[in-house]
Amino acid sequence: MSLRLYNTLTRSKEAFRPIDPAHVRMYVCGPTVYDLAHIGNARPIIVFDVLYRLLRQLHGEEAVTYVRNITDVDDKINARAAERGITIRELTEGTNAIFQSDVKALGCLDPDMQPRATEHIVEMVDLIERLVAKGFAYVAEEHVLFSPAAMDAAKGGWPRYGALANRSLDEMIAGARVDVAPYKREPTDFVLWKPSKAGEPGWPSPCGVATPGRPGWHIECSAMSWKRLISDFAGKIACEAAEANVFDIHGGGIDLVFPHHENEIAQTCCALNAPRMANVWMHNGFLQVEGEKMSKSLGNFITINELLHTGHFGGRKWTGEALRLAMLRTHYRQPIDWTVKALEEAEKTLDRWYGALENLPEDGAQPGEAFMAALQDDLNTPGAIAELFTMVGENPAQARASARLLGLLQMSPADWNALRQADLAIAPQAIEALIEARLAARAAKNWAESDRIRDELAAKGVALKDAKDPATGEMRTTWEAKR
Ligand code: AMP
Ligand code: ZN
């Protein structure tokens, strides 16, 4: 049994062979911290967290380095800070703090590193100057532009420009004809560096450009992956020199394939003379909400934070773990439809699973074999979860160990129950008072009132259970959170 992953670059599922099994390296494009992350943004975060956990399980915790960047320089950030009358730093710090707490609530491990773009300007300038020196980029009107045509003409042993997205340069030229900036030699040339206007953040520009400037979007990931996964480990990588600039896995959402990842590959290969940037390219499918594209104009735009802390979706808040389970019930490459019904089901499933773990001592159980086989088949999480449903009844300890590999069932059943009860639409004291009132109604044979109270509680997510106390023979009513 070995890990197989679908590679966007080769359009096939391949056995995963790390460059150095003692040092597996993964880079995932992280958030642009100008606004709260939406539930679509949560998908790559959760999916690659599962992959990170699986790699740690297979290769050892110390053997995996996961880097997820924070984009803190961007035109949207500048515009939003100006709009709100705060500094860029205040905006990016505040947004990032909420992002970190949101993804923690989703049960995600911290990546080993979360580098910020603004802390890697030196590496970006270094790469840009190499590209210009080698003839892959040029300076025009204080911009620095990358030339895909120059990349292809050089025949440098790297894949042609467009190989990842499976598009030809001619197709792209035809597609890019509208509104081409005058300083571009070809419509497909893309920005590595641009001049900053007064009031915009700026750094000393590369290649002798006098005006301070700022990076284009794509160069930051070439710079951060190079610095954090390649040069910081120089000398520690057991591989041939020609391969020294290649790392194992690069991930992100499917919308990043073109142009972002295509351009990252172009920059990295040409600047570092690398045959490839990463061996495996993985992309998650898109998330839509109740069958529609999520957008602000449709009014169905929903942030992770709102799902966790408000009633904006389905009229109630949701546990981070239910959000996570709902996300993983669809295979990562498929589109996912985000629905209230799926969240309700996820929460019911977790109630059941935690219920099965009550009084189960912690032990050294390992994940089940069929579960592992599903997960290793290109992260088949729906298959792995189907195995969990079976396992929970047959071997709860093994089910718990398996679920934990998905980042689920991390807390104790008591903590889960407390969390669910804290989330109820009614306080526990009020429930107890209604139970008393119902028992009184039953004693008076007022069945209509007794039923009304039970229904009122059910509507608030509380289920009642009547049973005779075996010691006294008296009727006793207990309750549990159930949705
Ligand atoms: P952005 O902040 O738009 O650059 O997106 C951050 C990450 O979220 C990228 O990996 C995107 O591909 C991903 N992403 C954005 N929107 C969605 C969506 N609706 N469904 C799934 N992934 C998304
Ligand atoms: Zn990126």
Residues 280 and 318 in one domain: no
Q: What local confidence, expressed as pLDDT, does residue 240 receive? A: 45
Q: Do 372 and 437 belong together in one domain?
A: no
pLDDT above 60: residue 238: no
Determine the distance separating the centroid of ligand 1 and the alpha carbon of 67, expressed in angstroms.
17
Full domain range(s) for residue 145 = 4-284
Same domain, 327 and 392: yes
Nearest bound ligand to the CA of residue 288 = 1
Residues 276 and 400 in one domain: no
Is the predicted pLDDT of residue 87 greater than 70, yes or no? yes
Residue 179: its pLDDT value, please?
79
The pLDDT of 343-357, averaged and rounded, is 96
Regarding whether 201 and 298 lie in a shared domain, the answer is no
Whether residue 433 is found in the same domain as residue 314: no
Q: What is the b/e burial string over 314-353, where b = at least 16 CB atoms within 10 angstroms of the residue's CB?
A: bebebbbbbbbbbbbbbbbeeebebbeebbbebbebbbeb
Average pLDDT over residues 375-385: 98
Q: Are residues 164 and 181 both part of a single domain? A: yes
Q: Point out the domain boundary residue: 371, 398, 421.
A: 421
| Same domain, residue pair 455 and 372 | no
- Do 253 and 300 lie in one domain? The reply is no
Split into its structural domains, the chain has a count of 3
Question: Same domain, yes or no, for 242 and 360?
Answer: no
Q: Which residue has the tokens 């189960």?
A: 360
Strands (E), 182-341: 190-195, 213-215, 247-253, 278-284, 287-289, 336-338
Name the residue of 33, 34, 41 to mutate for ligand 1: max ligand atoms within 8 A of Cβ: 41
> What is the arithmetic mean of pLDDT over 56-64?
97
Of ligand 1's listed atoms, the one at least distance from the Cα of 32 is 2
Output 460 or 72, whichever has higher pLDDT: 72
DSSP state, residue 218: T
Average of per-residue pLDDT across 52-61: 98
pLDDT of 39 over the 90 cut: yes
Q: pTM to 2 decimals?
A: 0.89
Q: How far apart are CA 245 and CA 27, in angstroms?
A: 13
For residues 276 and 182, state if they share a domain.
yes
- Provide the residue type at 427 as one letter: A
Rounded CA separation 219/192 (Å): 6
Question: Which range, of 79-88, 160-169, 318-327, 462-471, averages the lowest pLDDT?
Answer: 462-471
Query: Which CATH number is 198's domain given?
Result: 3.40.50.620
Ligand closest to the CA atom of residue 29: 2
Residue 217 has pLDDT above 50, yes or no: yes
Cα–Cα distance list, 153 to 148, 149, 172, 453 (Å)? 9, 6, 16, 78
Q: Which of 163-177, 207-221, 234-248, 454-468 is predicted with the least confidence, judged by mean pLDDT?
A: 234-248
Final residue of a structural domain among 219, 251, 284: 284
**66 Cα distance to chain centroid:** 12
pLDDT tens, position by position, 150-163: 999 998 999 999 99
- For 282-303, the pLDDT digits (tens) are 999 999 999 999 988 888 999 9
Quick one: pLDDT at residue 459? 84
Q: How far apart are the C-alpha atoms of 374 and 380, rounded to whole Å?
A: 5
Q: Which residues line ligand 1 (CB under 6 A)?
A: 29, 31-32, 40-41, 43-44, 252-253, 255-256, 284, 286-287, 294
| Lowest pLDDT segment from 77-81, 241-245, 289-293, 309-313 | 241-245
Query: For residue 352, is pLDDT > 90?
Result: yes
**pLDDT tens digits for range 124-137:** 999 999 999 999 99
pLDDT at 241: 57
SS (H, E, C) 395-426: CHHHHHHHHHHCCCCCCCHHHHHHHHHHCCCC
What's the average model confidence in pLDDT over 41-48? 98
DSSP structure class, residue 377: B
SS3 content of the chain, % helix, strand, coil (to 5): 45, 15, 35
Q: What is the mean pLDDT of residues 424-450?
A: 84
Q: State the amino acid at position 73 in one-letter form.
A: V
pLDDT at 475: 81
Q: Which ligand is nearest to the CA of 40?
A: 1
Q: Which of the four pLDDT bands, split at 50, 70 and 90, describes residue 140?
A: very high
In this prediction, residue 15 carries a pLDDT of 98
- The closest-lying atom of ligand 1 relative to the alpha carbon of residue 41 is 8
The pLDDT of 349-372, averaged and rounded, is 95
Residue of 43, 77, 103 to test ligand 1 pocket, by largest number of atoms within 8 Å of CB: 43
Residues in the chain: 483
Q: For residue 236, what pLDDT is reported?
A: 55
**In this structure, are 87 and 174 located in the same domain?**
yes
Last residue of one domain, picked from the residues 269, 284, 299: 284
Residue 60's pLDDT band (cuts 50, 70, 90): very high
Cβ neighbours around 384 below 10 Å, total: 26
Span 387-428, pLDDT tens digits: 999 999 999 999 999 999 999 999 999 999 988 887 767 766
Query: Using an 8 Å Cβ cutoff, are 253 and 287 in contact?
Result: no
C-alpha closest to that of 222 among 197, 196, 193, 195: 193
**What confidence score (pLDDT) does residue 172 get?**
85
Which region among 161-165, 299-303, 317-321, 429-433 has the lowest average model confidence (pLDDT)?
429-433
